[in-house]
Structure 1
């Protein structure tokens, strides 16, 4: 088998090859067209914004009789099928495209159609490749693949207003995640989506037991619709704006602002400002609600600084032993979250927790 160097072809070429039946989109070793509307929309939106997409692999052979070149798509069939179907007017863009939602190819401005057709896709050709060669290529590609995590599975599975809102809000607050709440690797693996979904859950359900199953159930409940979307997004922005401007920067990359603690800090601020359901804590165990946080942010940040020193110490003060222990144990369990939520609520109301 020979392999060409990567070449760059405009989308117009792939459409032409398909129309002339020189592009084979469904050879035996490719899956059928199973992409969701969300995935198809996101690919087209990526192209319209000029962002790169993964390269495709094609097995090329020349028919000696017809003198024609035929290209079988080894990897990238669903991407190319989506592109060709969009150009043919077979679907409109869904909610994953903020700027072009509801647009068909024919409704795009002429200059944007030109940009779409001229967009270049990187392709490598497998020349004189047998079926065994192709299967070997697939095996080697897949051997380097990282197994998908729960957040990535949800991103692929759910094409809903709730899912899209979570994704958009998480990307909006990347600068906050970068202050030590989430590492870059976690953000690439969509862990930010999980954190944002749990923040939504706090506002909708209160503080509950954690874990991916809980997040999955929330996504399932919101499949039919997300009528609270505007209110939830507004409240998330209000709380995270305060965290970004006043709370987290002075504690950037410290233990107190890592993901498990950041979620309970968010919960305490939400409880103070808006009130939240009692969730798995129960009405009888909910702490006294702080009276908002507008007048107590400086006090709150000072108390968090003290709590951070406790987390870094080897022997915590007796009154904070449980906070210390739960912060270092299974932070998703309700027993842990209940204690940390209580302490953060107190941090909003007490003057100088170190005294």
Structure 2
């Protein structure tokens, strides 16, 4: 088996090959067309905005008699089928394309059509490869793959308003995550999606026990519809905006703003601003829903003190539980309850160090 170096072909070439029946989109080792309109829209929108998409792998047969080249798609047939169907006017773009929602190929401005047809797709060709060669390629690719985590599995499983909202909100606040809440590796592995989903859950259900099973159940409950979407998105943006502008920058990279604490800081701010459901907090739920009323500067000063407490060898007696729970299993409700209580207190008292 010979393998080509990666080459870059414009979309127009794939359309031409398909029209001339030199492109095989459904060989025996590929799945049939299963992508939803939402996923197809997102791919086309990615192309129209010039962002890269994964490369395509093709098995190439050269026919000596007809002098033609036939290309079977080994990996990437869903992407190519979507591209070819869009060019043929077989579907319109859905809500995941903010710039071109409702458009089909014929409705696009001429310069956008040109950009679409000229978009380069990276492809590698397996020249005259046998079925066993192709299966060996798949086995070797999969042997080097990193096992997927829970967030990546959810991203693959759910194609819903809730899941798309979580994705978009996580990407929107990358600059906030970069201040020390999430590392780049965690962002690549979609850990930001889990964090945002828990923020959504906090607004909808209050502070609860954590863990991926809880997040999975939230996705499942919101699979059919997400009627609270506008409210939740607006409140998340408002609270994260306060964190980005007023709270986190002076503590960037410190332990007090890393992911487990950031979620409870978010919860405390949201509770003060809007009031949260009781959730699993129980009878000790602090009073909320009164608005910030200038409390952010006080809060930031108190967080600075709490950060020093976390770095100390021995904490003050009144913050021993906060210290201990911050270093234990931070997903358990016992830990979250204590840290939520302390962060709510930090919003209401002057000078916690006194």
TM-score when normalising by structure 2: 0.96
Aligned to 2:346: 347
Shift of 1:177: 0.5
Distance across 1 between alignment mates of 2:224 and 2:32: 27
Query: Is contact 1:299-1:347 (8 Å) kept?
Result: yes
1:324 aligns to 2:323 (yes or no): yes
Q: How far has the Cα of 1:354 moved from its partner?
A: 1.0
Q: What residue is the counterpart of 1:40 in the other structure?
A: 40
Greater CA drift, 14-23 or 86-95: 86-95
Alpha-carbon distance between aligned partners in 2 of 1:290 and 1:28, rounded to the nearest angstrom: 59
Q: Distance in 2 between matches of 1:95 and 1:147?
A: 31
Could you tell me which residue of structure 1 aligns to residue 279 of structure 2? Answer: 279
User: Using the alignment, how far apart are the partners of 1:341 and 1:200 within structure 2?
Assistant: 16
1:267 counterpart residue number: 267
Superposed displacement of residue 86, structure 1: 1.4
- Separation of aligned partners in 1, 2:312 and 2:174: 30
2:179 aligned partner: 179
1:148 aligns with 2:110: no
> Secondary structure at 2:347's aligned position in 1?
helix
Whole-Å separation in 2 of the counterparts to 1:64 and 1:239: 66
- CA distance in 1 between partners of 2:205 and 2:157 (Å): 23
RMSD: 1.4
CA contact (8 A) 2:273 2:288 kept: no
Any runs of at least 4 consecutive aligned residues in structure 1 with deviations exceeding 6 A, and if so which?
Answer: none
Aligned runs of 1:104-143 on 2, under 5 Å? 104-143=104-143
Distance of 1:37 and 1:147 partners within structure 2: 27
Match of 1:165 in 2: 165
Aligned partner of 1:190 in structure 2 is 190
For the residues of structure 1 that align with 2:98 and 2:321, how far apart are their CA atoms? 45
| Partners of 1:44 and 1:83 within 8 A in 2 | yes
**Quick one: distance in 2 between partners of 1:200 and 1:252?**
23
- Secondary structure of the 1:148 match is coil
What is the CA–CA distance in structure 2 between the aligned matches of 1:44 and 1:60, rounded to whole Å? 26
Contact 1:9 1:120 in 2 (8 A): yes
Deviation at residue 291 of structure 1 after TM alignment: 3.9
For residue 122 of structure 1, give the secondary structure of its aligned residue in structure 2: strand
- Find the counterpart in structure 2 of residue 307 from structure 1: 306
Measured after TM superposition, the shift of residue 38 of structure 1 is 2.8
CA offsets 1:64-99 (integer angstroms, 9 cap, x no match)? 222211111111111111111111222222232222
Distance 1:99 1:124 in 2: 31
Deviation at 1:290, TM superposition (A): 7.4
Alignment pair present for 1:337 and 2:323: no
Partner of 1:228: 228
Between the aligned partners of 2:64 and 2:167, the Cα distance in structure 1 is 50
Structure 2: which 5+ runs fail to align? none
Counterpart-to-counterpart distance in 1, 2:229 and 2:31: 36
CA distance in 2, matches of 1:167, 1:99: 18
Mapped contact 1:95–1:164 kept (Cα < 8 A): no
Please say which of residues 87-96 and 205-214 is displaced more in the overlay. 87-96
Q: Does 1:244 align with 2:244?
A: yes
- Ranges in structure 1 where 5+ consecutive residues have no aligned partner: none
TM-score by length of 1: 0.96
Between Structure 1 and Structure 2, how many residues are aligned? Answer: 354
1:96 maps to 96
- Once the two structures are TM-superposed, the CA of residue 162 in structure 1 deviates from its matched residue by 1.7
Moved more, 184-193 or 124-133: 124-133
Report how far residue 247 of structure 1 moved: 0.7
Residues 62, 128 of structure 2: 8 Å contact kept: no
SS in 1 for 2:199: helix
Q: Per-residue displacement from partner, 1:233-258 (whole Å, max 9, x unpaired)?
A: 22111111111111100100101000
Mapped to 2, the partners of 1:203 and 1:273 lie a distance apart of: 11
Q: Does 1:293 align with 2:292?
A: yes
User: 2: CA distance between counterparts of 1:8 and 1:288?
Assistant: 60
